[in-house]
Amino acid sequence: MYMAIFGMCSFMWFGWAQENPRKGWRKYIGSAAVAALLVGLIGIYLSVTNWHEPTALSTTTAYHQYLLVVTIEFLLAGIGAFLLIKRKKKDYIAPWIAGMVGIHFFWLTSIFNDGSLSILAVLLIAVALVSLFLSKKLQVANSAITGVGSGTVLFGFAIAGWIRFLLV
């Protein structure tokens, strides 16, 4: 399931990265998006064909905790994005969303009993913060840097999920 979720999220971040990158980046970002989509689709296939296997969300308590965390994340991300739009700071939405996604992985670490999600959290928060400075330096939209950074990190975790699946 990591492969499916992280692969598809990587695909979406690479899509967002195409908002305003340098022209020479587009073919690389597009290629990365296609690779992420393929990994995500393979993950979906493997998830569906192994649907009967127990997961970290098999217990009602874990599932409800997961839903609570995701609901809070969506609300905070949405409210923050709304406020940024209202204040005419749309360029900061991608880093804001990446930061919120990063923070939610800290909460998910205990639900999934997977310490590697803390590493994912730190990396996504770092991408969000670095994008604020690097986008100015490179004169591209924050979404270009945030999208490439988040897409790359999530793609790495999708591949790690695939490796974990193969080793089990």
Closest by CA to 15, choosing from 142, 151, 149, is 151
Q: Residue 60's pLDDT band (boundaries 50, 70, 90)?
A: confident
pLDDT at 145 over 90: yes
Q: Residue 124's pLDDT band (boundaries 50, 70, 90)?
A: very high
pLDDT tens digit sequence for 64-94: 999 999 999 999 999 999 999 999 999 999 9
For position 144, what pLDDT does the model report? 96
Report the distance separating Cα 75 and Cα 163, nearest Å: 33
pTM score of the predicted model: 0.92
Lowest mean pLDDT among 52-56, 109-113, 120-124: 52-56
Long-range contacts of the stretch 47-51 (C-beta < 8 A, 24+): 47/1, 47/3, 47/4
pLDDT at 168 over 80: no
